[in-house]
Amino acid sequence: MSVEIREIKDAKGRKEFIKFRWKVYKGDKNWVPPIVDEDLKRIDPEKNPFFKHAKVKLYMAYKDGEPAGRISAHIDYNYNNFHNEKVGFFGFFESINDKEVAHALLNKAVEFAKQEGMTELRGPASFTSNDDDYGLLIEGFDSPPVIGMTYNPPYYIELLESFGFKKAKDLVAYLITIDDEYKKFIRHLERRLKPLAERSKKWGYSIRNVDLNNIEEEIKKIYEIYNEAWEANWGFVPFTYEEFKHVGDSFKDFAIPELAKIVEYKGEPVAFGLVIPDMNIILKKMGGKIFSIGLLHLIYHKLTKFHKIAGSRLITLGIKAKYRKKGVDSLLYYHMMKDAIDYTNLKYCEISWLLEDNYLIIRASKFMGGKHYKTYRIYGYEL
Q: What CATH number has the domain bearing residue 340?
A: 3.40.630.30
Residues forming a β-bridge with 4 = 62
For the chain, state the CA radius of gyration: 21
**260 and 165 belong to one structural domain:** no
Cβ burial of 47 (10 Å; 0-12, 13-18, 19+) is exposed
In a domain, 353, yes or no: no
**216 and 233 belong to one structural domain:** yes
Mean pLDDT of 152-158: 98
**14 and 82 belong to one structural domain:** yes
**150 and 228 belong to one structural domain:** no
Query: Looking at residue 187, what is its pLDDT?
Result: 86
Cβ burial of 178 (10 Å; 0-12, 13-18, 19+) is buried
In a domain, 381, yes or no: no
Mean pLDDT of 208-215: 91
In a domain, 371, yes or no: no
Indicate the residue among 147, 171, 195 that finishes a domain: 171
| Model confidence at 117: pLDDT above 90 | yes
**114 and 251 belong to one structural domain:** no
Q: Are 136 and 165 in contact (CB under 8 A)?
A: no
**12 and 103 belong to one structural domain:** yes
Query: Looking at residue 301, what is its pLDDT?
Result: 55
Indicate the residue among 171, 187, 202 that finishes a domain: 171
The percentage of the chain sitting over the pLDDT mark of 90, rounded to a whole number, equals 69
Query: Looking at residue 304, what is its pLDDT?
Result: 63
Res. 246 pLDDT band, cuts 50 70 90: confident
Mean pLDDT of 43-51: 95
20-25 contacts, C-beta under 8 A, 24 or more apart:
20/60, 20/67, 20/69, 20/70, 20/94, 21/94, 22/288, 23/67, 23/96, 24/94, 24/95, 24/96, 24/153, 25/153
Res. 69 pLDDT band, cuts 50 70 90: very high
- The angle subtended at Cα 351 by Cα 217 and Cα 203, nearest 5°, is 55
**164 and 185 belong to one structural domain:** no
**217 and 308 belong to one structural domain:** yes
Q: Are 341 and 189 in contact (CB under 8 A)?
A: no
| Model confidence at 221: pLDDT above 80 | yes
Mean pLDDT of 347-374: 93
Query: Looking at residue 329, what is its pLDDT?
Result: 86
Query: Looking at residue 291, what is its pLDDT?
Result: 56
Residue 79 CB-half CA count within 13 A: 23
Mean pLDDT of 306-331: 87
Q: Are 340 and 347 in contact (CB under 8 A)?
A: no
Indicate the residue among 171, 195, 223 that finishes a domain: 171
**208 and 128 belong to one structural domain:** no
Q: Are 76 and 237 in contact (CB under 8 A)?
A: yes
Query: Looking at residue 123, what is its pLDDT?
Result: 97
In a domain, 137, yes or no: yes
User: Domain tally for the chain?
Assistant: 2
**189 and 140 belong to one structural domain:** no
Query: Looking at residue 305, what is its pLDDT?
Result: 65
**146 and 250 belong to one structural domain:** no
Mean pLDDT of 19-48: 94
User: What is the distance between the alpha carbons of residues 89 and 121, in angstroms, rounded to a whole number?
Assistant: 5
Query: Looking at residue 8, what is its pLDDT?
Result: 97
- What integer best gives the mean pLDDT of the chain? 91
In a domain, 378, yes or no: no
Res. 185 pLDDT band, cuts 50 70 90: confident
In a domain, 265, yes or no: yes
**192 and 341 belong to one structural domain:** yes
User: What is the distance between the alpha carbons of residues 203 and 180, in angstroms, rounded to a whole number?
Assistant: 34
In a domain, 364, yes or no: no
pTM: 0.93
Which domain does 7 fall in, by range?
3-171
In a domain, 376, yes or no: no
Query: Looking at residue 225, what is its pLDDT?
Result: 94
| Model confidence at 299: pLDDT above 80 | no
Res. 298 pLDDT band, cuts 50 70 90: low
Averaging pLDDT over each range in 24-33, 195-204, 249-258, which range is the top one?
24-33
Res. 199 pLDDT band, cuts 50 70 90: confident
